Amino acid sequence: MKKTVKKEKLRWFKLSGILEEIRRIRWPKPLEVAQKTAVVLMFTTIFALFFALTNVVLAQFTKLLIK
């Protein structure tokens, strides 16, 4: 019995096992990809604006302190 268990564990190392695993993958639909891409772009834009605004405010604050 141990031999068959070992064979099953090593099966995915073979090309047939890899192809079987690839067939099991649930690939996202184009709509899902578009929605998740939009969310990533939105958050990236929000964070970029936040850090740019923070940079400007801190630069102005630093200028006031130096004067």
Please give the tally of structural domains in the chain: 1
DSSP 14: S
Residue 53 neighbours by CB distance under 10 Å: 10
Can you give the pLDDT of all 67 residues of the chain as single tens digits?
555 656 666 666 788 888 888 899 998 999 999 999 999 999 999 999 999 999 999 999 999 999 8
Which structural domain, as residue segments, surrounds residue 53?
Answer: 2-66
State the pLDDT at residue 30: 96
Structure tokens of 2? 């141990």
Rounded Cα gap, residues 57 and 64, in angstroms: 11
